[in-house]
Amino acid sequence: EATAAFIAGMPKAELHVHLEGTLEPVQRLEFAERNGVALPQDDVAVYTDLTSFLASYYPNMTVLQTERDFFDLAFAYLTKAAGQNVRHTEMFFDPQAHTSRGIAFATVIAGYHEAVVRAERELDISAQLIMCILRDHSAESAMDTLAESLHYKHWIVGIGLDSDERDNPPSKFARVFARAREEGYLLTMHCDVDQPNSIEHIRQAIEDIGVDRIDHGTNILEDPRLVALARDRGIGLTSCPLSNAVVSDGGKAPEIVELLRAGVKITVNSDDPPYFGGYVTDNLLALAAVTDLSRDELVLLQRNAFEISWISSVDRDAHL
């Protein structure tokens, strides 16, 4: 109806999507066949939390082998995003998930970067890459990956932190992120919903690491002091309603609305679309369906996304 058409028509920015998490079941089949690799597992895996999701997510990546695979994966996502009126997107990728199984960093980033270039030319969408560190790997591996990324610094806007959060706090990577900052990268970190020690991880990310954004992070409501700090410093939160609904009982829709109304620059994103049930428009529809968000507030979510995005201020002003 009217709200659905309004949501579909809004110009959007997406700031939290994992390229490896955009792998659709049909692409998985296609890549497995053309590369002659066995399908790692059944099509429909059941997951109810972050750990069980990741247990399905990483094995599926074995079908990604060639530069063409990485290009096709990213270009397919960018085509879908452009079709939902996403005008700017910042896409996570996980190089260690590939280098750890013998795929060269160069293969991964060449494919992804070519998709960015072609999408900007052909799809009327701007795109940037954010390299994520896998937090369940060692700090040494993270530092090696950061060093390797420096060869492609002009193709990477920032550094993130993802994967299994349990016992892997931001502090484990303090030196890596300090170095990343020195190199000129912008910084973000996942503080996934309802993880053990969530509020301490959020505090470390903001106060000790000095991140520019936090991915998820809705548990910040447990500490009003940190909410005020995020608001005053303009630290954005990239929330993902459909992903939240899978990994946390009841999802986080009321928290997203509360943070928006508290003046925190929160946004709505898709995370891992085929795994969690939809792209960015689907996430906005799901959120709107269970809240009383007004049209002005739906627009505010997009304004927030363009404001906390890492496009240059010149490009950003054109969108605003």
Residues that bind ligand ES4 (CB under 6 A): 18, 21, 50, 162-163, 190, 192, 243, 271-272
* Binding at 163: pick from Zn ion, ligand ES4, none (beta carbon under 5-8 Å per type): ligand ES4
Shortest spacing between CB 238 and Zn ion, in angstroms = 8
Q: Are 103 and 31 in contact (CB under 8 A)?
A: no
Shortest spacing between CB 94 and ligand ES4, in angstroms = 7
Question: For residues 19 and 180, which CB has a smaller minimum distance to ligand ES4 in the complex?
Answer: 19
* Binding at 107: pick from ligand ES4, Zn ion, none (beta carbon under 5-8 Å per type): none
* Binding at 281: pick from ligand ES4, Zn ion, none (beta carbon under 5-8 Å per type): none
Binding-residue total with Zn ion (CB under 5 A): 1
* Binding at 84: pick from Zn ion, ligand ES4, none (beta carbon under 5-8 Å per type): none
201 is in an annotated binding site: no
Shortest spacing between CB 239 and ligand ES4, in angstroms = 11
3-state SS string over the chain? CHHHHHHHHCCEEEEEEEHHHHCCHHHHHHHHHHHCCCCCCCCCCCCCCHHHHHHHHHHHHHHCCCHHHHHHHHHHHHHHHHHCCEEEEEEEECCHHHHCCCCCHHHHHHHHHHHHHHHHHHCCCEEEEEEEEECCCCHHHHHHHHHHHHHHHHHEEEEEEECCCCCCCHHHHHHHHHHHHHCCCEEEEEECCCCCCHHHHHHHHHHHHCCCEEEECHHHHHCHHHHHHHHHHCCEEEECHHHHHHHCCCCCHHHHHHHHHCCCCEEECCECHHHHCCCHHHHHHHHHHCCCCCHHHHHHHHHHHHHHCCCCHHHHHHHC
Interface positions, 247-276, toward Zn ion (CB under 5 A): 271
Shortest spacing between CB 46 and ligand ES4, in angstroms = 16
272 is in an annotated binding site: yes
Question: For residues 219 and 300, which CB has a smaller minimum distance to ligand ES4 in the complex?
Answer: 219
271 is in an annotated binding site: yes
* Binding at 217: pick from Zn ion, ligand ES4, none (beta carbon under 5-8 Å per type): none
Interface positions, 90-149, toward Zn ion (CB under 5 A): none
Q: Rounded to whole angstroms, how far apart are CA atoms 72 and 113?
A: 11
Asked if 20 interacts with Zn ion (CB under 5 A), we say no
Shortest spacing between CB 315 and ligand ES4, in angstroms = 27
**Closest-approach residue to ligand ES4 (CB):** 162
Shortest spacing between CB 173 and ligand ES4, in angstroms = 14
Q: Rounded to whole angstroms, how far apart are CA atoms 114 and 152?
A: 13
| Residues placed in the known binding site for Zn(2+) | 16, 18, 190, 271
Could you tell me which residues are annotated as the binding site? 16, 18, 190, 271-272
Residues binding Zn ion (CB under 5 A): 271
